[in-house]
Amino acid sequence: MKKFYHLGTCFGVALLLCMSGCGDPQVTGIVKFSDGTPLTGGMLVLQDGANQGIGEIRHDGTFTVFQHRPGDGLRRGTYRGYIIGAVIADDYGRSTSFIPDRYTDMETSGIVYDSNVNRGRLEIVIDALPPQR
């Protein structure tokens, strides 16, 4: 009887490990300009027909995409993306974008994430130099 107990315990642990590793994958990456300088703010949005993920672009250009809450990953599939909020406002309320306008529109950005190809990692290169501050 003791052998069956240990075998059942091992099976249960293996099942839990498999279930925890079979969830939606984490999508991480970086957004940088063509000279390698990171984009220092904004949000990356990835969408497919039924799902959307969003990730804050941190000061070092890195991001982690989530669907409902931080840490939950992104369902497998092919997503198109765009960047929002990569602006700076002056004292008069005027805002200036850090990136070319085409990156703020899913139709023109060229940002694509395919879970079968990218496997949880996405690097986005903005084909421009960073704005002078």
Give the integer Cα–Cα distance in Å for 130 and 133: 9
Mean pLDDT over each residue of the chain, to the nearest integer: 84
**Are the CB atoms for 62 and 85 separated by under 8 Å?**
no
Give the integer Cα–Cα distance in Å for 111 and 29: 12
The per-residue pLDDT for range 4-39, each reduced to its tens digit, is 444 444 444 443 333 344 467 899 999 999 999 999
| Tokens coding 3 | 């052998």
pLDDT at position 23, please? 61
The per-residue pLDDT for range 60-86, each reduced to its tens digit, is 999 999 998 888 989 999 999 999 999
pLDDT at position 133, please? 60
Of 47, 4, 33, nearest to 132 by C-alpha is 33
CATH of domain 24-126: 2.60.40
